[in-house]
Chains A and B, each alone.
Chain A
């Protein structure tokens, strides 16, 4: 396995873990863990979190759609 394969496998692993976490708690019935949506509604009451998440989301769009403007 090359270094590039290892790094790529890491991304896929984190993607799988994220999906598994979402899937395991999606019905919001776990006694100790709120669903992703429930948790998101809770943390979005905080202005800093709202701005942080929405700006990061916007930047992802910028980063992937307008990439040629990124270099000095």
Chain B
């Protein structure tokens, strides 16, 4: 049933709505106001993108095919790599990046009824399982850490990476890796 909802039927509601809904619930439990806003609004946006707004298109292919992304990536790397983590400048730059990547990933068509070949469906199932189990492990650490108020006993990924990100080299390396992943996602989503 889940498989049918995602790519092989014309059911408009993406499983990402469910995933973001669950993440929203976790953020409410965490009491992180900004993350609550991000996940709840993202849940609504994804829901609307394949239902009421499914015919609204954005010509993202012409942007992702050109070199604009390399320039945007270079600017983000130079700014985010060297500006202090906890600053409002970093927050402003990231919000600006969000305003760029959402329209680019919105694309021309909603395409909710794409049928993937068997090999790709197998791969999707395997990687989805891996991602879900990894997220559940992180969620469990987060929830258990909050319940007994000893975050160091149940460390989350954030807690483990924090010392690395507080160094200039660690933060720059993270920004490079993060930008490469985002760049790859935008390239993978473009129309040839």
Q: Which residues of A are at the interface with B, using a C-beta cutoff of 8 A?
A: 2-4, 7-8, 10-11, 14, 17-18, 21, 25, 30-55, 57-72
Least CB distance from A10 to B in Å reads 5
Does the CB pair A60–B120 fall under 8 Å? no
Least CB distance from B49 to A in Å reads 5
**CB within 8 Å of A: which B92-126 residues:** 94, 97-98, 101-102, 104-107, 109-112, 114, 116-120, 122-124, 126
Q: Which residues of A contact B141 (CB under 8 A)?
A: 7
Does the CB pair A34–B91 fall under 8 Å? no
Most chain B beta carbons < 10 A, residue from A3, A33, A36, A51: A51
Interface flag for B157 (CB, 8 Å)? yes
A67 to B85, CA, bound (A): 7
B14-34 interface mask toward A, CB cutoff 8 Å, 1 = contact, 0 = none?
111101100000000001111
Query: Are A14 and B130 CB-contacts (below 8 A) given A34-B119, A48-B49, A52-B16?
Result: yes
Q: Which residues of A contact B152 (CB under 8 A)?
A: 4
Does the CB pair B112–A47 fall under 8 Å? yes
Does the CB pair B46–A52 fall under 8 Å? yes
Q: Which residues of B are at the interface with A, using a C-beta cutoff of 8 A?
A: 6-7, 13-17, 19-20, 31-35, 38-39, 42, 45-46, 49-50, 54, 80, 85-87, 90-91, 94, 97-98, 101-102, 104-107, 109-112, 114, 116-120, 122-124, 126-127, 130, 133-134, 137-138, 141, 152-155, 157-158, 160-162, 165, 171, 174-175, 178, 181-182, 184-186, 188-189
Query: Are A61 and B178 CB-contacts (below 8 A) given A54-B101, A66-B86?
Result: yes
* 14 extra interface residue pairs, beta carbon distance < 8 Å, beyond A11-B160, A48-B13, A65-B165: A2-B153, A3-B154, A11-B137, A14-B134, A34-B123, A38-B119, A38-B120, A39-B123, A48-B50, A50-B106, A52-B14, A60-B178, A65-B80, A70-B34
Query: Are A18 and B130 CB-contacts (below 8 A) given A4-B152, A69-B91, A71-B32?
Result: yes
- Interface CB pairs A-B, < 8 A, 13: A4-B155, A7-B137, A30-B119, A33-B119, A42-B114, A47-B14, A47-B111, A48-B16, A51-B16, A54-B186, A62-B38, A64-B158, A65-B85
